[in-house]
Every structure is written in structure tokens, then in C-alpha cells.
């Protein structure tokens, strides 16, 4: 065989270089998935400290595509390193703006994003393990927060790396030039920064978790998401409230899900025609009605003649339901309320509603 044919030139490159380039691309096309699988298995060793073999398939699935992308990019670089643009095309050098410069910048951008995506998939796998381990050292909510925070940091780092490597921007000069405007930006973003710090406090102090029922002032509902700036709470009427994290840590918060009881408090208004004896008898019967729901209700309760309101005699009722489930509380409250209506009727009294009575003096 005449090996001299490999030195024949075609489009400014020898046939040998074209074969090497094509061979690298063909090899990568055939074996990139196998190489990605091997790299995934090798990388799993770094996660054995907090993971185990049952998560290996999840790890391989998560990192398979990023490894394939990285392998393809490296293969493209190695393959086309053996080729040169023909001199007759009068292409500009890489340092000057032109086709070569654009190709080099695009390749650098893709390579940076490939490495960034690979790192973020590793963080995502770590979060997955925390969520599915029975005895995790880190809370699942904190793991989710760290993942999101890592995403922000990585994307910011990737952005500045692209500026420096792909577009050859002097990052030091950019940061210095932003020094004066940085103060104005910091002042404008102080609320955002306060909410970000508040989110760290929420994740570290753990006053509540996603899925728990909380009460914050007039707000009551289920926590759906804890974000960098806000927390989303789904109320019982299905509306979605977005509350700034700073407001949450500055307010008194009642975590209903972490308590084993729910308090029920209301006032009963009876008409002024009710006698003292009837009121005392009604109070005793209400206490019996609450005790009759035991063990659903606690022994501790308060049923007292409280106030002389403008249009009623007010009886204060406070008792506790031995469950933090909302539906259970409503069920017990309904039974007691119906019994209270029966008690008031039995003693010949009536519930009051806003009325006015006018007394007129008849002149002789």
C-alpha cells in the first residue's frame, strides 16, 4: 500500500489529518455513552461518604447526559485540532474578530456551561440523597436551599468566567469600575439582602418546614416553598400568599403542625332577657358538652360569663382539641356548637344580635 497518499492535500489539510479527525468523531459517536457511564461510575466514589449503592443508578442517570455533552465537546476540540483553515480562505487569526474568533468563543462558552452543569448535577444528586435518606444529617429544606444557592453562585461564576475566557474581558477592571455604583446597588437592594439573610435564618433555625401548617398574624395555611426572598403559603381557601422572609422572622409565628393541640376560642352572646341563674346553668352544660367529646378534647377549658356587651351578655368559651389536624378540629367544634344551640334553647334563652331598644317617656 502506498502510504504517500495520506500526504495528499484536500482543502488545505492532508488526508491523514482528515482521517484522524473523522476517526475521533466516529469513535466519540459510537462510544460516548459508554465513556459517560464509566465516568459516572468512577465519580460515584466521591459521594460514597454520605450515599450508598442504592443511589448509584440515580447518580448515573443524573450525570450521564452532562458527561456525554462534555465528552462530545472535548472530542470536537481534539478532532478539529488536526485541521486548519486553508490559507486561500484568508481567515483572520483567533486573536482578531472573525470566524475563528467566533468559533473559539462559542466553544469556550459551551465548555464552561458543560462543566457548570456537571457540578450542579452533583449538587442536585446530593440534595436527592438528603431527601431520601432516613437519617440525614442535613434537613431536606436546608439541602434544597443550598442547591438553589449553589445554582446562583455557579451561574454568576460561569458568567464572569465567560467574560474572562471567551471575550477576554479584564474582570478586575470591571469589578473596580463597579465599586462606585456598588454602594448605590447595595442601598437599592437592602430589602432583598435582608430577605436573603432571613432565609438563611429560617433554614438554620427551622421554625417550620415545607408542608407544615403555620399561622402568621392573619395568615394561616400550608407552607409550599421557602425561597431566597419569599415563602409561599397556600391558605385554606386555596389562595397563594407570597410572604417576604424578613416579615416572617420579625413576626410571631405559630407552627400548628408541631403542636399536638388546637385551641378553639369564641364568644356566645345571649340576650339581656337571660337570667343569672340561666346563664350559670348554660355555662355548666357547655362544660359538660366539651367534656363529653373526650378524648378528642382536653380537660383544660374556660367557660365564663365574660362581659356586658352593648347588645348581649357575652360568655367566653375556650377549649383544646387533642389534634393538630384542621378537619378534626372542625369536626369536634361542629358537634359542640350544635350542642350549645340545644342548651341555650333548653333553658329558654336566645342568642343576641345587634339591636337597640328605645324607652320613651309618655308626657301627661
- Looking at the fold, whether 125 and 242 belong to one and the same domain comes out as no
- Residue 232 reports pLDDT greater than 60: yes
- Whether 206 is covered by a domain: the verdict is yes
- Whether 78 is covered by a domain: the verdict is yes
Q: What is the average pLDDT across 179-202?
A: 66
CATH number at residue 232: 2.30.30.60
Q: What is the average pLDDT across 165-194?
A: 65
- Looking at the fold, whether 279 and 249 belong to one and the same domain comes out as no
Residues 249-270 pLDDT 10s: 888 888 888 888 888 999 999 9
Across all residues in the chain, what is the average pLDDT? 83
User: What are the phi and psi torsion angles at 112 (to 5°)?
Assistant: -65, -45
- Whether 277 is covered by a domain: the verdict is yes
Q: How many residues does the chain have?
A: 364
- Whether 63 is covered by a domain: the verdict is yes
Rounded to whole angstroms, the Cα distance separating 128 from 62 reads: 10
User: Distances in Å between the alpha carbon of 232 and those of 40, 146, 290?
Assistant: 36, 18, 36
Rounded to whole angstroms, the Cα distance separating 25 from 156 reads: 32
- Residue 362 reports pLDDT greater than 90: no
Q: What is the average pLDDT across 198-214?
A: 82
Q: What is the average pLDDT across 132-158?
A: 81
Higher pLDDT, 215 or 84: 215
Rounded to whole angstroms, the Cα distance separating 188 from 178 reads: 15
- Residue 200 reports pLDDT greater than 90: no
- Whether 272 is covered by a domain: the verdict is yes
Rounded to whole angstroms, the Cα distance separating 36 from 61 reads: 10
Give the relative orientation of helices 276-291 and 326-346 as an angle to the nearest 10 degrees. Answer: 150
Higher pLDDT, 129 or 93: 129
Interior angle at CA 333, CA 332 and CA 338, nearest 5: 105
Higher pLDDT, 161 or 169: 161
What DSSP assignment string belongs to 237-296? TS-EEEEEHHHHHTS-EEEGGG-S-EEEEEEEEE-TT--HHHHHHHHHHHHHHHHTTTTS
- Whether 355 is covered by a domain: the verdict is no
- Looking at the fold, whether 253 and 139 belong to one and the same domain comes out as no
Neighbours of 347 (CB within 10 A): 15
Our count of domains for the chain comes to 3
Q: Are 87 and 12 in contact (CB under 8 A)?
A: yes
- Residue 54 reports pLDDT greater than 70: yes
Give the relative orientation of helices 171-188 and 140-165 as an angle to the nearest 10 degrees. Answer: 140
Task: Give the pLDDT band (50/70/90) at residue 136.
Answer: low
pLDDT, position 96: 64
End-to-end CA distance of the chain: 143
Residues 306-353 pLDDT 10s: 999 888 999 999 999 998 887 888 999 999 999 999 999 999 999 988
- Looking at the fold, whether 24 and 127 belong to one and the same domain comes out as yes
- Looking at the fold, whether 145 and 9 belong to one and the same domain comes out as yes
- Whether 353 is covered by a domain: the verdict is no
Q: What region, left, alpha or beta, does residue 255 occupy, with left being phi > 0 and alpha being psi -120 to 50 degrees?
A: beta
- Looking at the fold, whether 240 and 276 belong to one and the same domain comes out as no
Helix (H, G, I), strand (E, B) or coil at 320: strand
State which of 172, 187, 211 marks the end of a domain.
172
Q: What percent of the chain has pLDDT over 90?
A: 29
Q: What is the average pLDDT across 270-289?
A: 93
Rounded to whole angstroms, the Cα distance separating 80 from 11 reads: 14
- Looking at the fold, whether 150 and 277 belong to one and the same domain comes out as no
- Looking at the fold, whether 252 and 279 belong to one and the same domain comes out as no
CATH number at residue 317: 3.30.70.100
Residues 67-114 pLDDT 10s: 999 999 999 888 888 777 666 555 555 566 666 778 888 888 999 999
- Whether 190 is covered by a domain: the verdict is no
- Looking at the fold, whether 15 and 69 belong to one and the same domain comes out as yes
**Closest to 228 (Cα-Cα) out of 200, 256, 269, 263:** 200
- Looking at the fold, whether 241 and 281 belong to one and the same domain comes out as no
Q: What region, left, alpha or beta, does residue 301 occupy, with left being phi > 0 and alpha being psi -120 to 50 degrees?
A: beta
Paired strand residues for 219: 216
Task: Give the pLDDT band (50/70/90) at residue 172.
Answer: confident
* Chain center to CA of 72: 34
- Looking at the fold, whether 48 and 117 belong to one and the same domain comes out as yes
Helix (H, G, I), strand (E, B) or coil at 213: strand
- Looking at the fold, whether 88 and 212 belong to one and the same domain comes out as no
C-alpha cell at 241: 400568599
Which residues span the domain enclosing 219? 201-258
Peptide bond just before 295 cis, omega within 30 deg: yes
DSSP 8-state assignment for residue 135: T
pTM for the structure as a whole: 0.57
Amino acid at each position: 500500500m502506498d502510504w504517500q497518499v495520506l500526504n495528499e492535500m484536500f482543502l488545505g489539510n492532508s488526508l491523514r489529518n482528515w482521517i484522524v479527525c473523522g476517526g475521533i468523531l466516529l469513535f466519540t459517536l459510537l462510544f460516548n455513552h459508554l465513556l459517560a457511564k464509566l465516568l459516572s461510575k468512577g465519580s460515584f466514589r466521591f459521594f460514597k461518604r454520605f450515599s450508598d449503592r442504592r443511589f448509584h443508578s440515580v447518580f448515573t442517570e443524573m450525570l450521564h447526559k452532562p458527561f456525554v455533552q462534555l465528552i462530545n465537546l472535548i472530542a470536537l476540540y481534539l478532532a478539529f485540532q488536526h485541521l486548519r483553515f486553508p490559507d486561500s480562505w484568508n481567515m483572520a487569526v483567533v486573536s482578531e474578530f472573525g470566524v475563528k474568533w467566533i468559533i473559539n468563543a462559542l466553544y469556550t462558552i459551551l465548555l464552561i456551561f458543560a462543566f457548570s452543569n456537571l457540578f450542579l448535577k452533583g449538587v442536585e444528586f446530593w440534595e436527592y440523597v438528603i431527601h431520601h435518606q432516613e437519617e440525614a444529617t442535613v434537613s431536606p429544606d436546608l439541602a434544597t436551599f443550598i442547591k438553589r444557592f449553589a445554582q446562583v453562585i455557579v451561574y454568576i461564576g460561569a458568567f464572569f468566567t465567560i467574560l474572562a475566557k471567551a471575550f477576554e474581558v479584564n474582570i478586575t477592571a470591571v469589578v473596580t469600575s463597579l465599586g462606585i455604583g456598588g454602594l448605590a446597588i447595595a442601598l437599592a437592594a437592602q430589602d432583598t439582602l435582608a430577605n436573603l439573610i432571613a432565609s438563611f435564618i429560617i433554614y438554620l433555625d427551622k421554625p417550620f418546614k415545607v408542608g407544615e401548617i403555620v399561622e402568621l398574624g392573619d395568615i394561616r395555611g400550608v407552607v409550599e416553598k421557602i425561597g431566597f426572598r419569599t415563602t409561599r403559603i397556600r391558605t385554606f381557601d386555596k389562595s397563594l400568599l407570597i410572604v417576604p422572609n424578613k416579615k416572617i422572622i420579625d413576626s410571631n409565628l405559630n407552627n400548628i403542625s408541631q403542636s399536638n393541640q388546637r385551641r378553639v376560642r369564641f364568644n356566645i352572646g345571649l340576650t339581656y332577657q337571660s337570667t343569672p341563674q340561666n346563664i350559670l346553668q348554660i355555662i355548666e352544660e357547655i362544660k359538660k358538652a366539651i367534656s363529653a367529646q373526650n378524648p378528642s378534647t382536653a380537660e383544660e377549658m374556660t367557660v365564663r360569663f365574660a362581659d356586658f356587651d352593648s347588645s348581649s351578655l357575652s360568655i367566653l368559651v375556650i377549649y383544646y382539641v387533642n389534634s393538630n389536624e384542621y378537619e378534626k378540629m372542625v369536626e369536634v367544634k361542629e358537634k359542640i356548637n350544635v350542642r350549645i344551640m340545644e342548651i341555650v334553647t333548653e333553658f329558654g334563652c336566645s342568642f343576641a344580635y345587634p339591636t337597640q331598644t328605645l324607652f320613651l317617656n309618655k308626657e301627661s
